[in-house]
């Protein structure tokens, strides 16, 4: 963690955003998870220009309640470069055509929360990179990251409109994210089956919108008090909402849920492909402010920097509580 900036004036004191503690179940292995936790039917949507259109009339509100939905991959978006990068970023050069995607354990990426991370308590190792540093990536991965950022911002704007946040407030409450500023970070994940720990801890994402590309089961989410599998669907991204959205909307008629989720322990025989995935996280800039919308206006409740430390540190610790 980097040193935290000072909180904006008037926001000092105890956090107003800590939610009731959730006692987390033990993270199962992927085979036990497949036997025990049924997949949940997620709402499906597509983007029509900048409009988010759900297949069912009640789909939008159901997606906000579940905290997840499936978003059709636009025809113009090529996911293959991201798949290759997620599969190889952690490897050393091997002298073949895939070397363009390798060697990212040792690359220095400027900025907070970026670069390579080896998680002590989890199978996953990650490579995080924000839009300002996309030039460090292969060109095809940069183009994909830009497309994912654009999709995520369209989702963000559509949800803000649906829950009734006035357009004039969008840039303020999201720290400029709706205007393609803010913090937009690609995260590539590789799960090491030879590491006898959980896949990843159950956690909430801290930001606004996460767009996930995964091709195999293993993601579990706590929805309405029960664990369910969030299984990938060919031709769709999985989208989930973060804690910034939950805090902003919790006093509104249709609040957005940031549901707890994590990844089952990957179990593979030698020679079998490992689990990989990648996402784009859309978040406010660390210098910004977390707001709650109530009484017809956004009310400042905490600095983004303090909120990030509060939320992110619990994502990677070894506690059984969130």
Summarize pLDDT for 149-204 with one digit per residue, the tens: 999 999 999 999 999 999 999 999 999 999 999 999 999 999 999 999 999 999 99
For the chain, give the mean pLDDT: 91
How many Å apart are CA 134 and CA 138, to the nearest integer?
8
Question: In the structure, what pLDDT confidence band is assigned to residue 10 with cuts at 50, 70 and 90?
Answer: very low
DSSP 8-state symbol, 200 = S
Residue 20 falls inside a structural domain: no
DSSP lists the bridge partners of residue 226 as 223
**Is 69 in a helix, a strand, or coil?**
strand
For residue 22, the model assigns a pLDDT of: 78
pLDDT for residue 3 is more than 60: no
Residue in 66, 189, 207 with CA at minimum distance from that of residue 119: 189
Beta strand pairing call for 44-48 and 124-130: unpaired
* Within a domain: 103: yes
**10 domain-assigned:** no
Domain that holds residue 169: 30-316
193 in a domain, yes or no? yes
The answer to whether residue 9 is domain-embedded is no
Residue 4 has pLDDT above 70, yes or no: no
Cross-strand partners of 280: 186, 211
Contact call for residues 274 and 268 (beta carbons, < 8 A): yes
Q: How far apart are CA 48 and CA 81, in angstroms?
A: 24
- As a whole number, mean pLDDT of residues 294-307 equals 93
Stated as kind and residue range, the H or E segment containing 262 is strand 261-263
Q: How does DSSP assign 164-187, residue by residue?
A: T--GGGHHHHTTTGGGT-SEEEEE
Kindly give, in sequence order, each residue whose CB lies less than 8 Å from that of residue 126, ignoring residues fewer than 6 positions away.
116, 117, 119, 187, 188, 189, 190
What are 228-258's pLDDT values in tens digits? 999 999 999 999 999 999 999 999 999 999 9
In a domain, 157, yes or no: yes
Torsion of CA 182, 188, 192, 196, to 10 degrees: 10
Nearest to 69 by CA among 14, 151, 2, 7: 151
- Alpha-carbon radius of gyration of the chain: 19
Q: What letter would DSSP give residue 101? A: G
Global confidence as pTM: 0.92
What CATH number has the domain bearing residue 225? 2.60.120.330
Task: Work out how many domains the chain is built from and give that number.
Answer: 1
């Amino acid at each position: 963690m980097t040193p935290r900036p000072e909180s904006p004036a008037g926001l000092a004191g105890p956090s107003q955003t800590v939610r009731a503690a959730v006692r987390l179940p033990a993270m199962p292995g992927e085979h036990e998870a497949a036997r025990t936790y049924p997949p949940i039917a997620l709402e499906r949507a597509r983007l029509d220009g900048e409009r988010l259109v759900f297949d069912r009339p009640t789909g939008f509100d159901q997606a906000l309640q579940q905290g997840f939905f499936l978003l059709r991959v636009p025809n113009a978006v090529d996911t293959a470069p991201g798949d290759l990068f997620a599969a190889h970023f952690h490897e050393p050069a091997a002298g073949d055509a895939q070397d363009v995607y390798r060697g990212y354990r040792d690359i220095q990426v400027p900025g907070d929360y970026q670069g390579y991370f080896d998680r002590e308590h989890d199978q996953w190792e990650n490579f995080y990179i924000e839009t300002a540093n996309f030039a460090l990536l292969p060109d095809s991965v940069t183009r994909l990251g830009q497309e994912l950022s654009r999709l995520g911002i369209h989702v963000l704007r559509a949800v803000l409109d649906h829950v009734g946040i006035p357009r004039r407030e969008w840039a303020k409450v999201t720290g400029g994210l709706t205007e393609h500023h803010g913090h937009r970070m690609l995260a590539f994940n590789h799960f090491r089956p030879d590491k006898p720990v959980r896949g990843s801890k159950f956690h909430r994402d801290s930001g606004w919108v996460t767009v996930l590309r995964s091709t195999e089961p293993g993601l579990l989410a706590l929805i309405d008090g029960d664990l369910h599998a969030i299984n990938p669907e060919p031709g769709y991204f999985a989208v989930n909402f973060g804690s910034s959205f939950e805090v902003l909307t919790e006093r509104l008629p249709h609040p957005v849920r940031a549901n707890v989720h994590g990844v089952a322990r990957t179990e593979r025989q030698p020679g079998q492909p490992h689990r990989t995935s990648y996402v784009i996280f859309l978040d406010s800039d660390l210098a910004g402010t977390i707001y709650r919308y109530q009484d017809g206006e956004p009310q400042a409740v905490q600095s983004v920097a303090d909120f990030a430390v509060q939320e992110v540190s619990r994502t990677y610790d070894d506690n059984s509580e969130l």
